Amino acid sequence: LESLYQDRIKPMANYVKGRLKERNSPEVFVKTFVELYGQHPDLFEVQNPMGGDEATIFFHKNPEWFKGWIDIDSPEDPYDEVLWGSLAKFLDGEHTFAGGRYGMARELMQRNLAFLAPYTLGQVCHIVQLSIQHRRLIVYHRKMLKPIQTVLCQLPSEGNGNGAAPEISSEGEEIKDMDDLTLVLFRMLMHHPSGIRLCRMKQMIKHEFSRKLSEMAFQCTKLIELFSQEPLSATFVLDTENDGKSIYVRLGNPDTFSDHIKGVYAMANAAEAKQALQGLQHGVS
């Protein structure tokens, strides 16, 4: 538990369990650790949230050296451009990382990279998340995290056979299948990471991509009904604001996407990177 405090990773049960396994703890401890921590309320505080979410385990009193938890999912980027430049330079090669963002962060830490030396594992997890969702330096591709340039180089030789991510449709076409809609939503959320208002989604799709969306094409009478269907329900989150008057569509956790949707996500990242590169080349010319 103390090591998670040092890493500034909030000790939710799955992280505690993972850390116990990393340290080869006895299997009986791995299976019953929540109950064992709960038997010592003078030392630990076990919080069991409502709704069946996983428990979180804290020290009863924070260590004096503790600097607070890192919000790994935060869109805020507090890191300087020197770090991002160093990371981009490091990723300019044939790298692949297993185990999602945590697995990649652990591997980066194990490599003792000088530009990551000032940061904790929790901060590096956040850096990886920003690299995926905002900086678009890395993408999910075939169950692995890879540098975007590596994936871009591979895409032209990959077909669109069974299980492959969809090709990018032409402008003006109506969106008629879930993969196409998911791809468009991924790209829109890269432009609007804070979320898209549901009531403006159709207009934004038309304005930004010259595409048309009709819920009737998906046998729905209301746009919100689309997000109760798979894969949208497992990929995006609907949040309400202004006392429930506004509904926002936001990106879910890429770590939990199915393999197929991770492929679509990689395609969206690749399309955005290609568009940005074309814009840069056009500006230079």
- DSSP at 257: S
Domain ranges, residue 196: 174-274
207 within some domain: yes
- What is the rounded average pLDDT of the residues 248-262? 90
* pLDDT grade for 154, boundaries at 50, 70 and 90: low
Is 134 in the same domain as 204?
Answer: no
pTM > 0.75: yes or no: no
pLDDT tens-digit readout, 12-26: 988 899 899 988 999
Residue 179: CATH number of its domain: 3.30.420.610
Q: Is the pLDDT of residue 159 over 60?
A: no
Instruction: Name the nearest CA neighbour of 128 among 112, 114, 140.
Output: 140
Is 85 in the same domain as 40?
Answer: no
* pLDDT grade for 235, boundaries at 50, 70 and 90: very high
Is 143 in the same domain as 226?
Answer: no
pLDDT of residue 277: 67
Task: Please state whether the peptide bond connecting residue 166 to the residue before it is cis, i.e. omega within 30 degrees of 0.
Answer: no
Is 181 in the same domain as 265?
Answer: yes
167 within some domain: no
pLDDT of residue 157: 41
Last residue of a domain, one of 130, 157, 184: 157
Q: Is the pLDDT of residue 156 over 90?
A: no
- What is the rounded average pLDDT of the residues 163-189? 73
168 within some domain: no
pLDDT of residue 128: 92
- What is the rounded average pLDDT of the residues 78-85? 93
Q: Which residue has the higher pLDDT, 140 or 257?
A: 257
- Name the packing angle between helices 178-191 and 259-284 (round to 10°): 50
Residue 92: CATH number of its domain: 1.10.10
pLDDT of residue 169: 44
Beta bridge partners of 147: 138
Q: Is the pLDDT of residue 141 over 80?
A: no
d(CA 59, CA 47): 11
- What is the rounded average pLDDT of the residues 188-214? 87
245 within some domain: yes
Is 199 in the same domain as 238?
Answer: yes
284 within some domain: no
d(CA 170, CA 74): 33
pLDDT of residue 167: 45
- What is the rounded average pLDDT of the residues 169-176? 65
What share of the chain has pLDDT > 90, as a percent?
34
What share of the chain has pLDDT > 70, as a percent?
85
pLDDT of residue 11: 92
The residue written with tokens 């530009």 in the block is 115
pLDDT, the chain, mean: 83
pLDDT of residue 161: 43
Q: Is the pLDDT of residue 227 over 50?
A: yes
d(CA 25, CA 43): 20
67 within some domain: no
Beta bridge partners of 175: 213
Number of domains the chain is built from: 3
Q: Which of 23-27, 40-44, 93-97 has the lowest mean pLDDT?
A: 93-97
Q: Is the pLDDT of residue 206 over 90?
A: no
pLDDT tens-digit readout, 32-41: 998 999 899 9
